[in-house]
Structure 1
Amino acid sequence: MIQSLRLYSGLTLFAYVFMHLINQAAGIISPEAMESIDKFTTKIWQFPPLEILLFTAAITHFLLATARLTSRRSLRLRKWEWAQMLLGLSIPFLLFRHIIATRIIDIGFDVDSAFERVLLDLAIFVPGQGILHAIAVIVVWTHGCIGIHFWLRLKPFYPKWRGLLGASAVLVPTMALAGYGAASAEIIRRTEEGGRKYIFGVLNAANVNDAAVKFYENALLPGTIIAIALALAPFVVRQIRQTIDRIKRGPMLSMPNGRIIRVSPGATALEALRDAGVQMASVCGGHGRCTTCRIHCGSGLDQLAAPGTIEAAALQSIQAPHGMRLACQIRPQNDLALAPLLPPNATAQDGRRPGGLSGSERQVVVIFTDLRDSTRLGEKKMPYDVLFILNQFFAEMTEALRETGGLYAQFTGDGLMALYGLDTNDTETMIRDALHGASGMLKRIENLNEHLKSELPHTLRIGIGIHMGEAIVGEMGPPGRENITAIGDTINITARLESQTKEHGVPLVISKAIFDHGPIPLPENAALHEVALRGKDQTVAYYALESMPELPERNT
């Protein structure tokens, strides 16, 4: 609830700022252009319900942001978190003069804040305030953009639109500052030409009176003191709290390497770990949305408070197993043994991966696909051409997986391994999806042969082996380059079955287990074969098929 309030209050303020900057951009044309579109950009926010909404959003957002800073037990933050925090705390200091001069005296003294009058103040009477106004544009916009970026980066669609949004984030304030500068230059020109007559004409038209000017001057000092106090208060309160916490003995966190870390009372596990210098992933900044700070809890787990609404929803979204919690959401009250589950450089995409895949044993359907006669391509084609053909091949195979819910788990030079069943425990569903994926591969290789007919020295053929069983599935690989894959006898058996496609001269070898457990009818006249496994006394039964059996429709 609190995070939602902070998000939506921030979005409300960002909408106002965006419209305000669009208004300023019109200054490239003239101050009158700024005035003419004002009723569509900033004046609509003076409609009482919207003005109340804006005022409430500003108060709410600032209070929640400062409360979060006050409650932090650790200030070991990432650079973007420091930037957003310091920019946000500086906003009241940069804007309070502008708010007094353009809204408070408007309401209290019936002054008209026409753009010509405001620009006269900023460009002629108080040029220093004009510079602060330009700085405020950059600060407020940057603060908002940082928040929106780290909110949207968790969304799957964001990478596609990131470039466009980034360009817009630069273009909008640039145009606004250009408009502000052009309009200010025009006001300076008019002042030089019209002199005192022009200045007093603008002031009289705006009803600027001595009482309003005196109020503004008297409000500057207390306004400055209040703005500075608001910026410093969270740090002062936090320091007082830390002093009190030092007197108390907090719980201890036990790391897998034997290190013991003390937790300040009320601190989250993420704050304690960062304060101790432990590098932890936290793409969303500790808001419980990205799950990259996921940890496995051992002894002491039963003494943790149950997950709150935010944490429970995040854990459910990744199908987290028992013992997995989010370091940013738990506040240990007792000693706790824990182990981080993702590397410090984990990305938002890593956070969307199912949590149960961190070294869990589960039933999966495995597909091995191999491109036949790939070495002949190198004999007939230039290296660049071979790479082009192979890239086309892998693009088509992975698209077949994507359409049917399969996971590209391993690259094998001229083939690949795919997994089905990572997001379901229903055997029939994973078998049906896997066979549809294999069917899609066969169709796509036919289309690829037609598409690359003029480029190929021979027709591309593939061999596909399909099997199911228990496998250890999880993130494996060198640090920073991990990917979800699987190991175990099931994987080895599938690879062995794929090699049998060469022995039988067929594109498909499907294990008997697939037909025993799945909803797929066995083709007529299908002969059962057996093959011995290397290094084992057992054999595996399978069917060698010329074409894909008849498949039922997938559930989408």
Structure 2
Amino acid sequence: MLAKVAARRRERKGPAGSGSLEQRLRLASGLVLVAFVLLHFLNHALGNISFGAMQAGQDFRYMIWHSTAGTGLLYGALAIHAGLALWKTARRGTLIMPKWEALQLFLGLSIPFLLIRHIMNTRGAEVAFATYVDYRHVLSGLWPDNALLQSVLLLIVWIHGMIGLHYWLRLYDWYRSWQPAFLVLAGAIPLLALTGWISAARRLHLVDEDKSNFKPGEQEALAEFASVANGIVYGLIGLCLAFIAGRKLWKRYGGRISIAFAGERAVRSPPGPTLLEIGRMNRVPMMSVCGGRGRCSTCRTMILEGGETLDPPSAAEQSVLKRIHAGENVRLACQVRPRADLLVRPLILPGKPLPAAAFHDRYRWGVERQIGVMFIDMRGFTRLTESRLAFDVVFILNRYIDGVVKAIRADGGMVDKVMGDGVMALYGVNTNYRSGLRQALSTIVRLAKEIEAINQELEGHLGEPLRIGIGLHGGPSILGRIGLDGRGGVESGLTALGDVVNVASRLENATKDNEALAIVSNEVLEAAGIAAEEIGEVRELAVRGRSAPLKVFAIHDVAGLETSLGSARRERSGGSAA
């Protein structure tokens, strides 16, 4: 049971690093604010139904966000998120950044100008004057004079939040398949919210039922409070920008350090900015898929000289470096803040600009996930070719490859590559790990029957029946596109890298000595939930590169495996029905 839970956790594994404490706090507070905004917008959308539905929705929201816990969570998240955003802005060594990052920053800095007044007229009125704030009161204050500003605020807040969500979720391997649905929702929700509150406000206004609950002088007092709060907020923003400008002046007139990029040039910079920011300021090509958040490793850089002057990696950076098995002198450029001269070499260079589709393809940068890897190889291929015409060999080989590929795809596998008479296949790329491994085991049964069919079909052309060897192993692997990037209209297919691939290949090779149809690791059978003792003979196999022997099962006949898979399917169907 514990092994199954651990396997499910591994399947849900996301990006390489979880970020620093500051990043996690900013993310967590941002998610709280997105949850508040989502409920608020859905409440607005109820205006498309009726004013009564809107008020009922507000009563429900008040139960959550006007409770003691809800109020503390909401305003705590707002303070943390705004404070950390200002802190991050102040620490920027440059305002040169990708367009999406600049848009998110600009929208975030624009929000207080419109939001503070809205907060003052709602929650502020309740606290300061015990004003009864229902939807009639809110809509009466917005329509028609403030309708445009409120609509702009709604869109700014939503777009700012969606950019942040997108560039967080895009590092998870499941996100791509759900992205179209999320995109539709991201467009539909603000549209429904806008039409909802505007239609409700117009109806109230047309029938002369709009009503403000403010007493004389209260709205003016709240406007003064809003002006003071806006002054404080934008004073802090001004200090951040002044701090950045001061750094610019220090860079020009104060002490500077030298950062030499091997293969590029040496640049001068003041201490303070990250290595990635220094590269951006000086137009040195450097990769950063996650936007400098320490959640990927595309900005990894080798420190050739001066590494002893750097602070040691933080826990978040160390986590990423450990995942990619980086050497001691490799660091993440987005996390390093040089204080002395350095000689560095970025390890991933962007080169020519990639097509937009390739840049947003997570497999272009590598994804780690649990998959099954299968190798299939024809036995005695050399003997087959010795006494036959080349045309006959090609015909037999094509029939064999067609049959193998058909069997792999029938069970949901993905053909990684064809190498002469050998085929490598991946399972679990588009499904979860457990299902992928069961598909791979089903392919072994299907391949045995396919080879039997080929032997019957080509009986007159073959001196002896075709035989194959299959190796199957599973575990964490790196999935990526290696090579062609699509600039010339051709892009490399998906491939897998890592120890799992090496072990699967060696299991396939071991079928020769064990005279087996297939050799499957015990790890695969356990993760797939298949009774191992029923399908083959247990063996202890020494695998090069591993200190301990690997427990495997040699399959000579697929009858037991077919029975076990059928039982697993019936058990699953019964569980689903129950």
Fold agreement, TM-score > 0.5? yes
Q: 1:98 aligns with which of 118, 124, 137?
A: 118
Residue identity matched to 1:392: K
Indicate conservation of the 8 Å contact 1:290/1:352, yes or no: no
Gaps of 5+ in 2: 1-20, 351-358, 382-391, 427-437, 460-464, 472-479, 520-540, 562-578
- Structure-2 residue corresponding to 1:209: 215
Alignment of 1:324-403 (within 5 A): 324-344=330-350, 345=359, 348-349=362-363, 369=377, 375-376=394-395, 392-393=406-407, 395=409, 399=413
C-alpha distance in 2 between matches for 1:366 and 1:447 = 17
C-alpha distance in 2 between matches for 1:74 and 1:242 = 8
C-alpha distance in 2 between matches for 1:105 and 1:119 = 15
Is 1:38 the equivalent of 2:58?
A: yes
Compared CA separation, residues 49 and 397, structure 1 to 2 (3 A)? closer
Secondary structure in 2 aligned to 1:331? coil
- Structure-2 residue corresponding to 1:262: 268
Is 1:119 the equivalent of 2:139?
A: yes
Residue identity matched to 1:108: A
Indicate conservation of the 8 Å contact 1:282/1:293, yes or no: yes
Q: 1:143 aligns with which of 160, 179, 202?
A: 160
CA deviations 1:305-354 (Å, max 9, x no partner) are: 21111101111222323322111111122222322223434864455568
C-alpha distance in 1 between matches for 2:296 and 2:338 = 21
What's the TM-score, normalizing by structure 1?
0.69
Residue identity matched to 1:112: Y
Secondary structure in 2 aligned to 1:180? helix
Indicate conservation of the 8 Å contact 1:368/1:417, yes or no: yes
- Structure-1 residue corresponding to 2:423: 416
Indicate conservation of the 8 Å contact 1:13/1:58, yes or no: yes
- Structure-1 residue corresponding to 2:533: none
Residue identity matched to 1:445: L
Alignment of 1:58-137 (within 5 A): 58-124=78-144, 127=145, 129-137=146-154
Compared CA separation, residues 370 and 231, structure 1 to 2 (3 A)? farther
C-alpha distance in 2 between matches for 1:516 and 1:223 = 67
Residue identity matched to 1:293: C
Indicate conservation of the 8 Å contact 2:302/2:331, yes or no: yes
Compared CA separation, residues 411 and 131, structure 1 to 2 (3 A)? farther
Give the paired residue count.
460
Q: 1:243 aligns with which of 242, 249, 272?
A: 249
Residue 10 (structure 1) shift: 0.8
Residue identity matched to 1:313: S
Indicate conservation of the 8 Å contact 1:96/1:223, yes or no: yes
Indicate conservation of the 8 Å contact 1:23/1:42, yes or no: no
Secondary structure in 2 aligned to 1:177? helix
- Structure-2 residue corresponding to 1:181: 198
What's the TM-score, normalizing by structure 2?
0.67
Compared CA separation, residues 516 and 3, structure 1 to 2 (3 A)? closer
C-alpha distance in 2 between matches for 1:155 and 1:92 = 31
1 or 2 for the larger relative contact order (CA 8 Å, sep ≥6)? 2
Indicate conservation of the 8 Å contact 1:81/1:285, yes or no: yes
Secondary structure in 1 aligned to 2:143? helix
Residue 188 (structure 1) shift: 2.0
- Structure-2 residue corresponding to 1:169: 186
Residue 266 (structure 1) shift: 1.1
Alignment of 1:50-65 (within 5 A): 50-65=70-85
Secondary structure in 2 aligned to 1:298? strand
Indicate conservation of the 8 Å contact 1:368/1:465, yes or no: yes
- Aligned-residue CA RMSD in angstroms? 4.6
- Structure-2 residue corresponding to 1:323: 329
Is 1:281 the equivalent of 2:301?
A: no
Indicate conservation of the 8 Å contact 1:271/1:328, yes or no: yes
Indicate conservation of the 8 Å contact 1:438/1:464, yes or no: no
Q: What is the percentage of aligned positions where both structures have the same residue?
A: 29
Secondary structure in 2 aligned to 1:210? coil
Residue identity matched to 1:31: F
CA deviations 1:197-236 (Å, max 9, x no partner) are: x45xx33xx3x21131231343454455445445444222
C-alpha distance in 1 between matches for 2:46 and 2:440 = 58
Compared CA separation, residues 297 and 87, structure 1 to 2 (3 A)? same
Residue 98 (structure 1) shift: 0.9
Residue 271 (structure 1) shift: 0.7
Compared CA separation, residues 260 and 516, structure 1 to 2 (3 A)? closer
Q: 1:156 aligns with which of 170, 173, 195?
A: 173
Indicate conservation of the 8 Å contact 2:26/2:81, yes or no: yes
Secondary structure in 1 aligned to 2:283? coil
Gaps of 5+ in 1: 192-197, 355-364, 402-407, 420-435, 467-473, 524-544, 552-556
Compared CA separation, residues 442 and 77, structure 1 to 2 (3 A)? same
C-alpha distance in 2 between matches for 1:313 and 1:463 = 42
